[in-house]
Amino acid sequence: MRRSRCVAAAVLVAAVVGFIAVASNSAAQERTRPREAACSTWVRGSHATASCFNPNPQTDRVQLHVECARWWDPDMDGRSIEVGPAQHVRLAERCWKEIRKAWVSHHR
């Protein structure tokens, strides 16, 4: 009788520890989920375009940055735009000649 109580207590302790580990792991995954607008960027010739959609309940600010390929062509940083919940925005910038890279930054 006593041995079964010890086994039951050990199983109970293992279950509680396992539950706490699973709960803390899921909470950590929930915290690391990005709360930013989802953006796609594409370049065609000297024009860069970004399309952003915000599926989150918080407002996100997005900004398109363009790095031009030529040394004499100034890099462009577009103005920061607010993307509210369930909103879609399109951003565009250009260089005089080719574009080396384009990306979107997020601000809170």
Q: Is residue 27 part of a domain?
A: no
When divided into structural domains, the chain yields a total of: 1
**What are φ and ψ of residue 4, in 5° steps?**
-65, -35
Distance CA 85, CA 36 (A): 10
For position 19, what pLDDT does the model report? 60
Q: Is residue 28 part of a domain?
A: no
How would residue 35 be classed by pLDDT, with cut points 50, 70 and 90? confident
Percent of the chain with pLDDT over 90: 62
Percent of the chain with pLDDT over 70: 68
Distance CA 59, CA 89 (A): 12
Structural domain including 83 reads 38-107
Q: Is residue 8 part of a domain?
A: no
